[in-house]
Structure 1
Amino acid sequence: MPGGVIMTDVNVLERLERIIRSDEGVPPERAAELSVLLDEPPIQDVVALVERSSATRAAVVLRLLSRRRAIEVFDALDAAHQADLIDALGDNSVYEFFAELDPDDRVSLLDELPAEIAERLMRTLDDTERDITGVVLGYPKGSVGRRMSPEVPHIYEDLTVDEALEKLRRVANEAETIYTLPIISRDRLLVGVVSLRDLFTAEGSTGLVELMSKPVFANAHDDEEETARWFLPLDMLAMPVVDDSERLVGMLTFDDAVDIVEEADSEDTARSGAHEPLQQPYLSTPLVKIVKSRIVWLLVLAVSALLTVQVLDTFEDTLAAAVVLSLFIPLLTGTGGNTGNQAATTVTRALALGDVRPRDVVSVAWREIRVGMLLGAVLGSIGFLLATVVYGLNIGIVIGSTLLMVCTFSATVGGVMPIIAKKVGADPAVFSNPFISTLSDATGLIIYFLIAKSVMGL
């Protein structure tokens, strides 16, 4: 990198990436120069550079950054990616980064680490930060309490606007958000909320009781995904979180709710595609972790596909008597699988958004029966005409009837299975596309051969 040449951010990042990813690594004599250059690009570009690098190389980038900038970049990474960096960074950097994280982000990182490392990191915190982090750790995984910020200014209902603003000035640097303020009684019961805008525009002598509005809040034990999904459409910056006695314990911020929904959607998308979510950027994910995310699903699907083999073996004589039937197997199994997948994807998404609840299973089943029948009628009519022209009336009847029944069955099963999964506490996405495809294949073949035997007298 020639000295004295001013480069654009893009060129800086491209050349830094080439140097960092080279076999030689970063020459010691150029570390100071690269450190200065890394302070030039926008923070999001540096985060992207770290996300595209292995743990070892990402650690090099973080060490080259200034302290403030390194903490910002580390904080912006996914918890799984942060965990991968722990060994590469060395103790001093890890302790510093860990101490600067918000309590909820610390807990997310601790969840990704082995117990002995998590305990070691907790011991590096001062008593106050350890206690605050312990509050979040005390709630079960998947709950709102696990994602809330417990650092909330205590603004009491008997204060005036001037008194509240004075208190905010003293504690603003410690709180994660001050734009939406919960108002509490002296025994910490949540009684209302007020916005910072309302405080700034009100008379200083006005009591908070006159300004506060009825609070929208969540219980710390509520499911994080369900809460985040109903909270986000309200367009609020933050929401109070209370315990079972309705005492204030924290705040759920808008950005944390967005993260929760994004993680849930990524998980659903991954599982509907028959693999586990990586939980960190693709290029920085170790190869072994990628293999682990896929291999279990492939083994499960391979075993479940034996059902299809067993069905074909059972109807071997039927196939031998009318070899032409084998030509339509890919069409019928593919149509059944696709129909089931469409229904499952639609209902899984509706469950996530709260449009469908487990008690709606009968309504969903009845709707999907009708949708499947209409789809099957259209596809079956086309299949009947084409098969009759080429292979004769009997084959046409078999194909048309099979498509009608397969579409009806697959749509119904695809719509109902995610709800059953939700009902028993499983992830609806797990019961989605891969399993429904296998079930539709096996069942579709049974329907196909039974109709063929009946119509053709085999």
Structure 2
Amino acid sequence: MPDMTVENSAADRLESALTGRIDRPAMDTIAHLAHQVPLPELTRLVHTSTPLQSAVLFRILDKDEALAVFENLPPGYQAELIQNLREPEVAHIVEGLDPDDRAELFGELPANVARQLMSGLDAEEREMTTAVLGYPKAAIGRYMSPEVLSLHEDWTAAEAMEVVRARIDGPETVYLLPVVGYGRVLLGVVSLRNLIAADAEDLVADLVRESISTQALTNREVASRLFLSHRLIAMPVVDKEDRLVGILTMDDVLDIVDEEDAEDIARSSGSEPLDRSYLSSTIFRLVKSRIVWLLVLALSAILTVQVLEVYEDRLDQVVILALFIPLLTGTGGNTGNQAATTVTRALAVGEVRIRDLGRVIWRELRVGAMLGAVLGLLGFVVAGLVYGWAIGLVIGLTLLSVCIMAATVGGLMPIIAKRIGADPAVFSNPFISTFCDATGLIIYFTIATTVLGLS
């Protein structure tokens, strides 16, 4: 077992060497230390360092290490790194990528750079890469591997095994083998285990079982969630005529889901996802990822200020009401965000569909009522004992009403977003908080006006 203390120490020294002055002695030190650092740590250093430092470290790695590190970098960072490397290094890296990974990289590069790299590929690799690039960026066909080992239904098990042995180094996976008929129409799949266990004269058609597949134009997140929900190791990809065009593997699915989840988390907190690591992102890039949403939220928060202005005379009559505004707006925002997060997640994994809108509203209305009853009772007792039972009643009724409203709206907005083709995460936390703040204040002052007899 390797000594983790030694590895970590080497990684720390390598990181220090990269951040210092890069001269010939420093290059020798970097090269020496790089050979002592494991591949995952090298990938982290390349990803989190500045473009210049990453290029220096990358050039020191041998070809196999460089390709392994490059494949584990996000496409946006791959594109930046490519533009900081010499042409011979770039050619080797691009040739070593799978067609789907190559297509994703080309999508991030300037058009002239992508064309130049494409022209350096051999005819077969260029054809497969072009086929993947032909699909929209959000389609799963952009992320499938066109290098798929398929079996024909008329083959015997012995003939199929002979083909597998001859082509085992080419495809991305051979553990699940699609079976096709004439015209490459997908008939099903055969696992490698079942093929090995079959008698030599058994027909592939007798071994085939029904497969879960996806069309190449299906949204990448939808296809990936389907893949994970059925716990697949690979999934055939077909065109509109059910002809086999590629295969989707677990590593591609995990990359897509990680990227989508990172995007949802960032947008639910009011920012845009970073296309590279936090430490290697410039200050300008960090500001750019946050400023737009802050401006949007600042403008929408003006609505809350206007509501307070409308009810300013009520606050003058009963100043104590101002003390509870943070409690009520905070409770409404948190309740709405909880509901939105739950429904957004349910939409992502296919547990909820657009047609379930009525059921979701009814469920969240009841959830909000139960939460509001508990919080309202507590608010009524505490506020009543301290500030009088009339104030306690206002607080209790407001908490009940705000929780019902916020939970219902929080469950509703992600489905509306899905229906109009927007990202449900965009409609969740930031906008729900602002909406619930303004609406909660209207509810609060309306109840206060009625219960306390204000005018």
Instruction: Please indicate the TM-score interval, normalised by the length of the shorter structure.
Output: over 0.9
Question: 1:286 — aligned with what?
Answer: 282
State which drifts further: 421-430 or 8-17: 8-17
Say if 2:229 and 2:349, in contact at 8 Å, map to a contact too.
no
Match of 2:179 among 180, 183, 186: 183
Percent identical residues: 52
Distance change (3 Å), C-alpha of 1:412 and 1:182:
same
Q: 1:19-34 counterparts in 2 under 5 A?
A: 19-22=17-20, 24-25=21-22, 27-29=23-25, 31-32=27-28, 34=30
| 1:253-302 Cα shifts (integer Å, max 9, x gaps) | 11211222111111111111111111332222232222211111111000
For 1:371 and 1:222, the matched residues in 2 are separated by 34
Matched, 1:265 2:261: yes
TM-score (norm 1): 0.94
- Measure how far apart 1:246 and its partner are: 0.7
Aligned to 2:41: 45
Task: Work out the CA distance in 2 between the residues paired with 1:37 and 1:170.
Answer: 40
* TM-score (normalised: structure 2): 0.95
The answer to whether 1:334 aligns with 2:325 is: no
3-state SS of paired residue (1:435) = helix
Secondary structure of residue in 1 paired with 2:425: helix
User: Number of aligned pairs?
Assistant: 450
Name the SS for the 1:8 alignment partner.
helix
Partner residue of 1:353 out of 320, 332, 349? 349
Q: Give unmatched runs, 5+ long, in structure 1.
A: 1-6
Q: Kindly tell me: are residues 286 and 169 of structure 1, through their superposed partners in 2, closer, same or farther at Cα, counting changes over 3 Å?
A: farther
Asked whether 1:101 is paired with 2:90, we answer no
1:236 is aligned to: 232
> Following superposition, which runs of at least 4 residues in structure 1 exceed 6 angstroms of deviation?
none
The Cα of 1:30 is off from its aligned counterpart by 5.4
Superposed displacement of residue 122, structure 1 = 2.1
Counterpart residue type for residue 6 of structure 2: T
Partner of 1:414: 410
Distance in 2 between residues matched to 1:13 and 1:374, nearest whole Å: 53
Partner residue, 1:55: 51
Structure 1 residues 302 and 33: alpha-carbon distance in aligned structure 2, compared to 1, 3 A threshold: closer
Check if 1:405 corresponds to 2:401. yes
Quote the Cα distance in structure 2 between the aligned partners of 1:334 and 1:215: 49
Q: Tell me by how many angstroms 1:170 deviates.
A: 2.8
- Post-superposition offset of 1:198: 2.1
Partner of 1:141: 137
Deviations 1:75-128 (A, max 9, x none): 111112112212222333223212211111112222222333323322222222
Matched, 1:394 2:390: yes
Superposition deviation, residue 407 in structure 1: 0.8
Instruction: Report SS of the residue matched to 1:346.
Output: helix
Among 74, 84, 89, the residue aligned to 1:88 = 84
Aligned residue in 2 for 1:439: 435
Q: CA deviation at 1:236?
A: 2.4
Q: Is the 8 A contact 1:35 1:66 kept in 2?
A: no
Kept in 1, the 8 Å contact 2:144–2:237? The answer is yes
Over the residues paired in the alignment, what is the CA RMSD in angstroms? 1.7
Note the alpha carbon deviations across 1:390-441, whole angstroms, 9 max, x for none: 2222212211111111111011000110011011111100000110000000
Cα distance, 1:33 vs structure 2:
5.6
Q: Distance in 1 between matches of 2:201 and 2:257?
A: 41
Q: CA–CA distance in 2 between the matches of 1:38 and 1:201?
A: 45
Which of 152, 157, 164 aligns to 1:161? It is 157
When structure 1 is superposed on structure 2, of 229-238 and 312-321 the one drifting more is 229-238
Secondary structure at 2:154's aligned position in 1? coil
1:219 corresponds in structure 2 to 215
